[in-house]
Structure 1
Amino acid sequence: MRYKARALILLPGFFMSTDQKSIKKVVLAYSGGLDTSIILKWLQTTYGCEVVTFTADLGQGEELGPARDKALLLGIKPENIFIEDLREEFVRDYVFPMFRANTQYEGLYLLGTSIARPLIAKKQIEIARATGADAVAHGATGKGNDQVRFELSYYALEPDIKVIAPWREWDLTSRTALLEFAEKNQIPIAKDKRGEAPFSVDANLLHASSEGKVLEDPAQDVPDYVYSRTLSPEDAPNQPTFIEVDFVKGDAVAIDGEALSPASLLTRLNKLGHDNGIGRLDLVENRFVGMKSRGMYETPGGTILYFAHRGIEQITLDRGAAHLKDELMPKYAELIYNGFWFSPEREMLQALIDKSQEFVTGRVRLKLYKGGVYVVGRSSPHSLYDQDLVTFEEGAVAYDHHDAAGFIKLNALRLRTLAKRARKLA
């Protein structure tokens, strides 16, 4: 059963600067899991404040009704429990704009966790305004990137908001301490939560990421049991799967001729990617906070979408526009990874990227086979590909082969000049 968030009335300028000791109400990003349930109770006991919970359905694949039940059990008023299905907004307004840029952090990572944080933060601020809360809280640790992403987004949207980051404040520094706090405060603990978690997982409609514990040694293979979104490529079908993806102005709109909403389309691609063992990435990345970390990412649908979008751009983007996009993409990716989604520079780059997609419309045919995605065909009403120009056969083409000689000599002029100087100095 899905629960819709209540209508939000935004009140500009609602917040006033206030000392954290006087915090009356806080909006917590709440998953319903053990850690955020402990945070919920800790906020009540430490700050003595009213807590509002916000649970976002981003396609993580879990039933969110239990999060509401857990919040009620922990004393949250029904009117202070917000659960919202954000899957369409997530893909339409965050994932798709990012994929128009072919965005990859450090050349590989499709930013599945990074792109979800600004949307969660935005909704927290909206709920804070609607409920009269004077603070927001998150469950990110003090070592990771998510604390930065959440808080930069909070401050960009509401500069005077107070932020509570329990992992940077409390003295619950061990698993034992957390479990003792839970038992003392009658927080239900599932049997599988009593032991040390073998690794941590973050999931949404774009990806699942796993890190920590059994994954901390980058010299060791990722255990098979860590994977949740993809078949092993070795276990994928021995026959390839062929699909067609339609694009309009840079966004995928249909699969095999069937028009789909953004979230439905990504869900379909996820299934295709899962079945064909597509989208696994074992990565050691550079965190914004300064350390390297090893993570395992599964982005089945996103990987297919990435190659499909590259395919349609091959015939619809001018060389100069395509190369400029590729030059700017690492900066754009870094801004998202580091939490600057709501920054003016990201918005400036987005305007440029979106302009480039004006004629990125057409169809791409793909072969999916044992972990690989291969573009095998592309067509567009706006294609810049001219077969008459590139053919080796002679035809009625407005191209004079003799023109190439002058073109080459002009481009070689500086090289010849440098060579003459080097010869004089030899």
Structure 2
Amino acid sequence: MADKINRVVLAFSGGLDTSVILKWLQQTYGCEVVTFTADLGQGEELGPARHKAELMGVRAEHIFIDDLREEFVADYVFPMMRANALYEGLYLLGTSIARPLIAKRQIEIAREVGADAVSHGATGKGNDQVRFELGYYALAPDIKVIAPWREWDLGSRTALIDFAEKNQIPVPKDKRGESPFSTDANLLHTSSEGKVLEDPWAEVPDYVYSRTDDLVAAPDAPEEVTIEFKGGDGVAVNGEALSPAMLLTKLNELGKRHGIGRLDLVENRFVGMKSRGMYETPGGTIYHAAHRAIEQLTLDRGAAHLKDELMPRYAELVYNGFWFSPEREMLQAAIDHSQAKVDGTVRLKLYKGGVHITGRKSPHSLYSEKVVTFEDDAGAYDQRDAEGFIKLNALRLRLLGRRDQG
């Protein structure tokens, strides 16, 4: 028999899975369900989620639809971008970085409405169940978590549709067939996985792409763009000051037009298996390149190289769901400290899926034309100093060589 639950907050999209979950929670636990739908810039109309929740008996005051776009970019995407985080050297972590914010808001709502449990629609095979639940437990250690996919016997799409029909849950006609692939979207990216994408040798069909235009149809002339940074965060595009969410929205528009940000990836999930996915991150790809370019001018070599050493660990923590862990917060503090003088402007050209840096400038630049020039440096650098520098660094190599050569 299920544990006694009085009220549960469900992460609710209004789609087939979470609609079935809502009814299943009501039936299995005999509890009141509070729905929470996050607007993270997924580009979908969220009104139907409210209507669906009302249709299924959720009280109006217990339907939460929150616009979290600015918080998402300012407090989650931008801090991650300061780290230049790439999971397994390629993935810009678009799904991973959204989960801690959803978990945080769910816990906040649970406290507001006096709920004793939270629930999500992640399956028992994926990473999202881990990300959601690590977030829940970090913020509310004693919260009850209900993960229906690990409890019920509805093991297929057909079973979900049958359950929906028996319980008068509306199922749109276009949802009755077998879905060719699943998607997750937010302001940073769109991910597509499953079904037609499961064979890593099969090319991704054109109809999978939704956030990036085809390279063949992309403009035949490059487009020049400038991004301005302050304290390591983007603040303006082409001279226009923009909020974090609006800045990423603008870069998404530019990236989409030029087919930028497609990634076909076979990754290692935290739960142990490999999976193949198609990620589209148009604005994030442009932003990532620009941020690295401004750091090239403003970060000392030691700081820059240390950041690159820390980055894989940081990215792994985000991917695995440890956003609220002390080690991620420690790394963030170090990374943020490095960004104090990461100010300036980067100029880029966007062309046929490519992002090309063409210039960068900063009031805090460490680059010195006087020192680096091949022309007369007027005494700024004494080349004779290099001899002692080289001999000191070669000393141990020379000692090893003498020993090994007898």
- The bucket for the TM-score relative to the shorter chain is over 0.9
Alignment of structure 1 residues 198-277 onto 2, 5 Å: 198-277=180-259
- Structure 1, residues 109-141: CA drift from partner, whole Å, max 9, x if none? 000000000000000000000000000000000
SS for the counterpart of 2:203 is coil
State whether structure 2 residue 91 is matched by structure 1 residue 104: no
Alignment of structure 1 residues 129-168 onto 2, 5 Å: 129-168=111-150
Tell me the amino acid that sits aligned with residue 190 of structure 1. P
State whether structure 2 residue 388 is matched by structure 1 residue 422: no
8 Å Cα contact 1:388-1:397 kept in structure 2:
no
Alignment of structure 1 residues 37-48 onto 2, 5 Å: 37-48=19-30
Give the structure 2 partner of residue 73 of structure 1.
55
Cα displacement (A) at 1:99:
0.1
Please give the alpha-carbon distance, in whole angstroms, between the structure 1 residues aligned to 2:377 and 2:234.
36
Q: Equivalent pairs: percent with the same residue?
A: 77
Query: 150, 154, 171: which one pairs with 1:172?
Result: 154
State whether structure 2 residue 96 is matched by structure 1 residue 114: yes
State TM-score, norm by structure 2: 0.99
State whether structure 2 residue 11 is matched by structure 1 residue 57: no
Query: 379, 386, 396: which one pairs with 1:397?
Result: 379
Cα displacement (A) at 1:234:
2.1
Please give the alpha-carbon distance, in whole angstroms, between the structure 2 residues aligned to 1:245 and 1:33.
37
Alignment of structure 1 residues 337-348 onto 2, 5 Å: 337-348=319-330
Give the structure 1 partner of residue 165 of structure 2.
183
Alignment of structure 1 residues 263-412 onto 2, 5 Å: 263-412=245-394
Give the structure 1 partner of residue 110 of structure 2.
128
Please give the alpha-carbon distance, in whole angstroms, between the structure 2 residues aligned to 1:211 and 1:398.
56
- Structure 1, residues 147-194: CA drift from partner, whole Å, max 9, x if none? 000000000000000000000000001111111100000000011111
- Structure 1, residues 42-94: CA drift from partner, whole Å, max 9, x if none? 00001100000000000000010110000000010001100000000000000
Please give the alpha-carbon distance, in whole angstroms, between the structure 1 residues aligned to 2:22 and 2:2.
16
Tell me the amino acid that sits aligned with residue 13 of structure 2. S
Cα displacement (A) at 1:317:
0.4
8 Å Cα contact 1:250-1:309 kept in structure 2:
yes
Tell me the amino acid that sits aligned with residue 399 of structure 1. Y
Give the structure 2 partner of residue 11 of structure 1.
none
Q: Which runs of 5+ in 2 are unaligned?
A: none
Give the structure 2 partner of residue 3 of structure 1.
none
Please give the alpha-carbon distance, in whole angstroms, between the structure 1 residues aligned to 2:143 and 2:127.
20
Cα displacement (A) at 1:20:
5.6
SS for the counterpart of 2:145 is strand
Q: How many residues align?
A: 406
Alignment of structure 1 residues 87-102 onto 2, 5 Å: 87-102=69-84
State TM-score, norm by structure 1: 0.95
Q: Which runs of 4+ in 1 moved over 4 A?
A: none
8 Å Cα contact 2:16-2:160 kept in structure 1:
no
Q: Which runs of 5+ in 1 are unaligned?
A: 1-18
Cα displacement (A) at 1:22:
1.3
SS for the counterpart of 2:260 is coil
- Structure 1, residues 243-280: CA drift from partner, whole Å, max 9, x if none? 10000000000001100000000000000000001000
Please give the alpha-carbon distance, in whole angstroms, between the structure 2 residues aligned to 1:407 and 1:418.
18
Cα displacement (A) at 1:421:
1.3
SS for the counterpart of 1:235 is coil
Please give the alpha-carbon distance, in whole angstroms, between the structure 2 residues aligned to 1:151 and 1:195.
31
8 Å Cα contact 1:27-1:135 kept in structure 2:
yes
Cα RMSD (Å)? 0.8
Tell me the amino acid that sits aligned with residue 222 of structure 2. P
Cα displacement (A) at 1:285:
0.2
- Structure 1, residues 321-356: CA drift from partner, whole Å, max 9, x if none? 000000000000000000000000000000000000
SS for the counterpart of 1:234 is coil
8 Å Cα contact 2:370-2:380 kept in structure 1:
no
SS for the counterpart of 2:387 is helix
Please give the alpha-carbon distance, in whole angstroms, between the structure 2 residues aligned to 1:206 and 1:149.
17
Please give the alpha-carbon distance, in whole angstroms, between the structure 1 residues aligned to 2:201 and 2:339.
41
